[in-house]
Amino acid sequence: MQISCRDGEFHLSSGGMSYIFALDGRGAPRHIHFGAALSPDSSYRHLLRLVERPFSIGSMESAGWECPTIGRGDFRIPALEIEAADGSGVLDLLYAGHRVIEGKPPIPGLPATYAETEDEALTLELCLRDAVSGLELYINYSIFEGTSLLVRSSRVCNRGRGALSLNSAMSAVLELPDPDYELGTLSGAWARERHFVRRRLAPGLQGISSRRGASGHQHNPFLLLSRPGATETEGECIGVSLVYSGCFTAEVEVHSHGTCRARIGIDPADFRWQLGPGQEFATPEAVLVYSARGLGELSETYNSFYRSNLALGYWRDRHRPVLFNSWEAAYFDFTENDLVGMAEGAAALGAELFVLDDGWFGLRDDDSSSLGDWACNLSKLPGGLAGLARALGGLGLGFGLWVEPEMVSQKSQLFEAHPDWVIGVPGRPRSEGRNQLVLDLSRPEVVDHLYGVFHGILSSASISYLKWDMNRHISEAYSAALPPGRQGEFFHRYMLGLYALLGRLVEAFPELLIESCSGGGGRFDPGLLPFASQAWTSDDSDAIERLSIQAGTSLVYPLSSMGAHVSAVPNHQLGRSASLDTRGAVAFFGVLGYELDPRKLSEEDRRGVAAQIAFYKEHRQLFQFGRFLRLRSTWEGDGNEAAWMVVSEDRREAVVASFRILGRPNPASLRLGLRGLDPGLLYRVSPLPAEGSLSSAALIAGAGSPDVVQRENAGLRRGDELEVIGLLLSGEGAFDPPAGDFSSRLFLLEAVFGH
Ligand code: DGJ
C-alpha cells in the first residue's frame, strides 16, 4: 500500500490496483488510470492526452477529470453541480493542496468503512478551490493494505461570501479509456431482489437510480463494469458501490470519442442543498473495487471488506443465532400460548432465538392500523413483552422483536397527536402505501421521540434482536419543518435522521443484534451494515428463487449479512414445494433461520430440521464467515443449475452444494470443479445427508442400489483432483436415482491430518 505524490502526479496503489491522476498545466486534477497495478516508481503523465477535436471546447472532453463540473465545455455527466448566488453554475476547480493521512477519517453523520488500525489504511485528501465562488472541495481517497479497492468521498465547503445551492454532489466518478464493458446491476422487484443483470454498454447514458427514499428492491446501489465474457475466474471487472440507503444514482456515459465515465452518488433528481458561507456538505462514500480475475475475486474483495471494515460492533465477528420467526408461521394471528408453543418446538429443534414478527402492538390484527403505537397488545400477550421474554428465556431462547419505527398508521394515537410529523405536502392528500404513512425523520424531535420509545421497549424486556422493517417508499416528499427553498434537502436529511436514530440505539444497546428489512430486501445496502449486521434478504423464502437472489446479493455482500430461512411448503410466495434438504441447503449459505410453525412439521421433517440445525451449528463459522464461491449460477447457461461453496480460511474445510432446478431424464454426465482448496491436501469427501430423502428416492426408483453420486464421490480425494476433475453430479446411467425437480446435493470436505 502506497501513496506517492510527485510533481503534481498522484499514485495510490494497494493489492493489485493502481489509481493515478495528475494535475494539468492549470492545476486541474485529470484522471489517468484505475485498474491493474502499475509501478509506483514511474510517471504516467504522458498518458494524459489533452487534445482538441472538431466541435469540442478546447480539450475539455479529451481526458478524464477527478471532479468534472459543468459549464466550461465538458458536456458529460458531472460530479458536482452548483448554483451560485448570481445564478451561474460554472466552476473551475484547481489544486489548492493535499495531505496524506494515516488510517481513514470517519464521515460525520454518515456510515463509512473504517480502518481498525492506522497502518491498515492510507488516505489522500486533495483540496481543490474555485477562486470565483470560494468553493472548496476536499476529495478523500482511501486505500487499504493488500486490498484492490479505493474508497472515495467528498466534502464541499462554501468559503465564499454568498450562499450556494449544491445541485448534485457525487461520491465518485470513474473515467475509463474505452467502453468495451458489460454493465451489470443487481435489479428486480419485491420478492425477486438483486437478480444479476448484464448488458453491453452502448453510446450515451445508461444506469439505474432510486427516487424512493430508500435504496429499494428495484436496483441496488452498485454497478459492475466487466469485460465481455468475464467469468467467475477470468476477465477484468470493476465494481462501484455506494455506502448509502437512500435515493441514489449509478450511471455510465459512453462518450462519442469512445471514453466512458461512471458516477455514483445521491440521486440529483430530488436533491438541492443550500450551503451558506462557512457551511459544508459531506457526500456518502463509494467503494471502487478492481479485479483482474473475474467476478469471483471482485465479490471476495467486497465480501471481506464489508464484513470486516464496514460491519461494526459486537456482532461483526460473532456467530449469529439460528432463529425461528413467527411471520410465515402465524402472520398477525397468534396468542401468547401459540408463541410459547412454537418456541418450545423451536427450542427442541435446536433454535437459539425466537423472533416475534408484526402484530404484537396496539390493535394490530392486520396491516391497517397501529404503527406508531408501540405498546404491547396485552390481549394477545397478557404477560407483556417482558413475560414473553421470560418464557423464551426459560426455554433457552433469546427474544427478537419486529419493529417498523419509521412508519405511522392513520389509525393510531401517534397520528392523532402529531399529524404534522408525517411526510406530505400541506394541502394535498398523502398517499398511503400498505395503509401507512412515513414519519418525518428529517425532524430531530421525531428522531428523539422514536429513540425514547424504542429505548423504553428495549429496556422493558430482555430483547436481544430487532428486525427493523420499512414497508413502503416515500411519496409527497416534503417536510413541514423545512422552508420551501430547502425541500431539496429532505431526502438526505431523512437518511441522516435514520442513521442518527440507529446510531444512538446501537450505542445504548451495543449487544443488540439488528436485522434490517424493507418488505424483504428493499433496503439491503452497505449504508445499513454498520448498524444492522444482517439484513432480511427477501420476502421470497422459496429456495429456488433464493438461488438467484442470494447469489446476486453475494456479488457484493457477505454471507454473514444475509438472513436465509427455511419456510413451509407449499411456499407462501410461489406455491412451490421443494424438499426440506434443498430448502436447508440454500438457507445454510447465510444466517440460517426458520419461517414456519415447528408444531406443524411431520415427525420426519422435525428430525430433518433438527439435523440441519445441528449441522449448521457445527459448521457455522464456515457458513457465516467462510470464503464464499459461486461455482455455477442461474444466470449462466440454461439457468437450470447452481452450485455454491464455502471454504475455511485455512482451506482445510469446505461445504459444497449443488442445485438442479428441473430434473432431467437420463441426464448428461456432469462434473463440478471446485475452487479455493489446497491442491496438495487430501480431503475426506462426505456426501450429505448420509441417509434420508436421497436414499428414499433410490428406493422409489426401485433400483435397490446405493445412490451412485454418493458412492462415486465419497472417499479421499486430493485437492487438485477436486479442482481439475471435480465431483460427479450426474450421468452414471440407469442407476441415477430420479431426484425430481428442485433437487440438491451437499458435500462436506475435510482435510485429512498429516496430508
Ligand atoms: C415485511 C417483512 O419483510 C416480513 O418478513 C414481515 O416482517 C412483514 N413485513 C411484517 O409486516
User: Residue 602 pLDDT more than 70?
Assistant: yes
Which residue from 324, 328, 333, 358 has its CB within 8 A of the most atoms of ligand 1, so it is best to mutate? 358
CATH assignment of 323-627, among 3.20.20.70, 3.30.200.20, 3.30.300.30, 3.50.50.60: 3.20.20.70
Atom of ligand 1 nearest to the CA of 357: 7
User: Cell numbers of 550, please?
Assistant: 442470494
User: Residue 699 pLDDT more than 50?
Assistant: no
How many C-beta neighbours within 10 Å does residue 83 have?
14
Among 657, 638, 655, 637, smallest CA distance to 646 is for: 655
Atom of ligand 1 nearest to the CA of 518: 3
Q: How confident is the model at residue 665 (pLDDT cuts 50, 70, 90)?
A: confident
User: Residue 732 pLDDT more than 90?
Assistant: no
pLDDT at 19: 98
Q: What spacing in Å lies between the alpha carbon of 327 and ligand 1's midpoint?
A: 7
Atom of ligand 1 nearest to the CA of 520: 3
Which residue from 190, 192, 323, 327 has its CB within 8 A of the most atoms of ligand 1, so it is best to mutate? 327
Q: What spacing in Å lies between the alpha carbon of 358 and ligand 1's midpoint?
A: 7
What is the mean pLDDT of the segment spanning 394-409?
A: 98
User: Residue 255 pLDDT more than 70?
Assistant: yes
Q: Ligand 1: which residue has its CA nearest to atom 11?
A: 358
pLDDT at 711: 84
User: Residue 738 pLDDT more than 80?
Assistant: no
pLDDT at 459: 98
pLDDT at 587: 98
User: Residue 380 pLDDT more than 60?
Assistant: yes
pLDDT at 730: 84
Q: Are 555 and 298 in contact (CB under 8 A)?
A: yes
Q: What spacing in Å lies between the alpha carbon of 469 and ligand 1's midpoint?
A: 7
- Tell me the C-alpha to C-alpha distance, in Å, between residue 185 and each of 68, 225, 245, 740: 24, 9, 16, 33
Among 463, 279, 456, 308, smallest CA distance to 385 is for: 463
User: Residue 691 pLDDT more than 50?
Assistant: no
Is residue 429 packed enough to be buried (19+ CB in 10 Å), middle (13-18) or exposed (0-12)? Answer: exposed
Q: Ligand 1: which residue has its CA nearest to atom 6?
A: 327
CATH code, residues 630-751? 2.60.40.1180
Q: What spacing in Å lies between the alpha carbon of 537 and ligand 1's midpoint?
A: 11
Among 559, 636, 641, 547, smallest CA distance to 586 is for: 547
469 in catalytic set = yes
Which residue from 404, 536, 541 has its CB within 8 A of the most atoms of ligand 1, so it is best to mutate? 536
Atom of ligand 1 nearest to the CA of 536: 3
Ligand 1 site residues, Cβ closer than 6 angstroms: 327, 357-358, 402, 469, 471, 517, 519-520, 536, 539
Rounded distance, CA 106 to CA 114, Å? 7
Query: What is the three-class DSSP state of 61?
Result: coil
Return the beta strands (E) in 511-633 as ranges: 513-516, 534-536, 562-567, 591-595, 627-632
Q: Ligand 1: which residue has its CA nearest to atom 1?
A: 519
Rounded distance, CA 301 to CA 85, Å? 44
Catalytic member of 24, 469, 597, 605: 469
What is the mean pLDDT of the segment spanning 75-93?
A: 96
For 439-490, write each residue's pLDDT tens digit: 999 999 999 999 999 999 999 999 999 999 999 999 999 999 999 999 999 9
Q: How confident is the model at residue 704 (pLDDT cuts 50, 70, 90)?
A: very low
pLDDT at 693: 43
Catalytic member of 74, 130, 525, 539: 539
74 in catalytic set = no
What is the mean pLDDT of the segment spanning 722-728?
A: 97
Q: Ligand 1: which residue has its CA nearest to atom 2?
A: 519
Class at the top of the CATH hierarchy for domain 2-309: mainly beta
What is the mean pLDDT of the segment spanning 60-78?
A: 95
What is the mean pLDDT of the segment spanning 527-549?
A: 98
**Mean pLDDT of the residues in the chain:** 95
* Beta bridge partners of residue 420, listed in sequence order: none
* Beta bridge partners of residue 266, listed in sequence order: 248
Provide the greatest CA pair distance for the chain: 87
Rounded distance, CA 213 to CA 206, Å? 21
**Neighbouring residues of 535: CB distance < 8 A, sequence distance ≥ 6:** 515, 516, 517, 521, 523, 524, 528, 529, 557, 561, 562, 563
pLDDT at 753: 78
Rounded distance, CA 127 to CA 139, Å? 7
Q: What spacing in Å lies between the alpha carbon of 401 and ligand 1's midpoint?
A: 12
Q: Are 644 and 384 in contact (CB under 8 A)?
A: no
User: Residue 698 pLDDT more than 70?
Assistant: no
Q: Ligand 1: which residue has its CA nearest to atom 9?
A: 519
% of the chain exceeding 90 in pLDDT:
93
Q: Are 655 and 623 in contact (CB under 8 A)?
A: yes
For 9-36, write each residue's pLDDT tens digit: 999 999 999 999 999 999 999 999 999 9
Rounded distance, CA 560 to CA 558, Å? 5
Rounded distance, CA 154 to CA 703, Å? 67
The full length of the chain comes to 755
In this predicted structure, which of 494-508, 611-625, 665-679 has the lowest mean pLDDT?
665-679
Which residue from 333, 404, 406, 469 has its CB within 8 A of the most atoms of ligand 1, so it is best to mutate? 469
pLDDT at 706: 63
Q: Where are the domains of the chain?
A: 2-309, 323-627, 630-751
Q: How confident is the model at residue 733 (pLDDT cuts 50, 70, 90)?
A: low
Q: What spacing in Å lies between the alpha carbon of 376 and ligand 1's midpoint?
A: 18
Q: What spacing in Å lies between the alpha carbon of 522 and ligand 1's midpoint?
A: 11
Q: What spacing in Å lies between the alpha carbon of 471 and ligand 1's midpoint?
A: 8
For 150-164, write each residue's pLDDT tens digit: 999 999 999 999 999
